[in-house]
Amino acid sequence: MKGAFPMKFEPAPLEDWMRLYYFAVDDDIGSSGVEDYSLAELRAMLGIGTDELDAVVFRDSTSFGGEEVRTAIAEQWGTGDPDRVMVTHGGSEAIYLVLSTLLDPADAVVVTEPTYHTHTSIARTMGCELRVWPLRPENGFRPDLADLRAVIDGVKAVVVNFPHNPTGASLTPAQRDELVAMCAEAGAYLVWDQAFREMVVEGEPLADPVHDYEKAISIGTLSKGYGLPGLRVGWAIAPHDVLRGTLDLRDRMTLHLSPLVELLATRVARHAGLLVGPRMDQARRNLGLLRQWAADHAELVHLPEPMGGVTTFPQLLGHTDTTGFCHDLAREHRTLLVPGSCFGDPTRVRLGYGGPTSSFTRGLETLALMGENAHVQN
């Protein structure tokens, strides 16, 4: 029976790590987001007056999200149809609602490896068969569609996230088209987590498959490129029956969003470029600094070239497990880096370059210093 699975999760090492150190460091070179905005900045950029905030009445919103916010999201990121949009508490809730609704215990699902943890843990916990589409380090984690072709037959869904956390790898537009065609041929849902959609190093964001594939489900968030992780706004753009199905869970969990949050999200969605532009300019400048830093410290680090997002997944040379090193970096030097063990590869670290440039540069200096000391001790 659908929904009768024993929903007991394993701990999520990435979230455990963030709980330990996110609030206990000065310099963050591990996170996957950009510099956060304040409410004052948001109001100034988007022209939100105190009268508009004062006019908010804290009544319930609707289960899928208010008409205005769904319309703004549908027009900015979707097909223009607000009835295909559900507004959620971050992309996290959207992923949970969508996967729990789509999948049954006997289903097979394709996931990339490495990947963001909920893409695998929800399906695994439900008892689904996980089929791996490996993003291979020897190819700089660039996806190879031949690897997907080898596992796609008979699957219920393909779950992807491009640009990809943690590697920064992505698809070319031609590969995106091929992915959509392969899902269509297999009759599989394509769950397209576009958390880092507009965060591309070069060129245009990939076209969202909700525009050209009826079984595509797109998941978005204001937490990454828009610098608003604390607003907790995400969404799913999906076929009506899938959205309707998510209500059984939502009715027992979060019910709906706050009208205040919806007001802010509506305005952000209408002027999304204003927020993301300056943050991506900063991230691209940081990436230039990071490339130079990696070239200057070639004995410490091997940096795969990212295509998007604001993270890369480099190897720290000489480390078979970077976890202890990252603990020391956080505890002794108040610098956050995420050990690759949180993504299943302990020889690597997730390095995030989306933060304020001064703090990012300091974090890299600390990392170099610590790395050189570790080398001397080895």
Ligand X SMILES: Cc1ncc(COP(=O)(O)O)c(C=O)c1O
Judged by CB under 6 A, the chain residues 29 through 58 that form the site for ligand X are 32
Q: Residue 19: how many CB atoms within 10 A of its CB?
A: 11
Distance of closest approach, residue 315 Cβ to ligand X, in angstroms: 21
165 binds ligand X (CB under 6 A): yes
Compare residues 84 and 117 and give the one whose CB is closer to ligand X: 117
Q: Which stretch binds ligand X (CB under 6 A): 53-61, 88-96, 278-286, 288-296?
A: 88-96
**Based on CB atoms, which residue is closest to ligand X, 101 or 221?**
221
In the complex with ligand X, the residue whose CB is nearer, 14 or 370, is: 14
229 lies in the binding site for ligand X (CB under 6 A): yes
List 30, 66, 78, 91, residue binding ligand X (CB under 6 A): 91
8 A C-beta contact, residue 208 and residue 162? no
Q: In whole angstroms, how close is the CB of 86 to ligand X at the nearest point? A: 14
Residue nearest ligand X (C-beta atom): 90
Q: Under the criterion CB under 6 A, does residue 28 sit at the interface with ligand X?
A: no
Gap between the terminal Cα atoms of the chain: 56
What span, in angstroms and rounded, lies between the C-alpha atoms of 157 and 286? 36
Using rule CB under 6 A, residue 170 touches ligand X: no
* Residue 258 CB contacts under 8 Å (≥ 6 apart), including other chains: 58, 61
Q: Does 92 bind ligand X (CB under 6 A)?
A: yes
Among 90, 163, 340, 352, binds ligand X (CB under 6 A): 90
- Cβ closer to ligand X: 126 or 342? 342
Distance (Å, whole) CA 123 – CA 127: 6
Any contact of residue 66 with ligand X (CB under 6 A)?
no
- Which of positions 111-150 make contact with ligand X (CB under 6 A)? 116
221 scored as a contact of ligand X (CB under 6 A):
yes
Among 223, 246, 322, 335, binds ligand X (CB under 6 A): 223
Site for ligand X in 245-274 (CB under 6 A): none
Q: Which is nearer to ligand X, 196 or 293 (CB)?
A: 196
Nearer to ligand X, 158 or 300 (CB): 158
Q: Minimum CB separation from ligand X for residue 195, in Å?
A: 4
**Kind of pairing between the strands at 234-237 and 301-302:** unpaired
Which x/- pattern, by CB under 6 A, does the window 299-338 give for ligand X? ----------------------------------------
Member of 100, 101, 112, 161 binding ligand X (CB under 6 A): 161
SS3 string, the chain, reads CCCCCCCCCCCCHHHHHHHHHCCCCCEECCCCCCCCCCHHHHHHHHCCCHHHHHCCCCCCCCCCCCHHHHHHHHHHCCCCCHHHEEEECHHHHHHHHHHHHHCCCCCEEEEEECCCHHHHHHHHHCCCEEEEEECCHHHCCCCCHHHHHCCCCCCCEEEECCCCCCCCCCCCHHHHHHHHHHHHHHCCEEEEECCCCCCECCCCCCCCHHHCCCCEEEEEECCCCCCCHHHCCEEEECCHHHHHHHHHHHCCCCCCCCHHHHHHHHHHHHCHHHHHHHHHHHHHHHHHHHHHHHHHCCCCEECCCCCECCEECCEECCCCCCHHHHHHHHHHHCEECEEHHHHCCCCEEEEECCCCHHHHHHHHHHHHHHHHHHHHHC
Shorter beta-carbon distance to ligand X: residue 61 or 167: 167
State which residue, 165 or 366, has the beta carbon closest to ligand X.
165
Q: Which of 195, 242, 316, 329 binds ligand X (CB under 6 A)?
A: 195
- Pick 215 or 224: Cβ nearer ligand X: 224
**Interaction site with ligand X (CB under 6 A):** 32, 90-92, 116, 161, 165, 193, 195, 221, 223, 229, 234
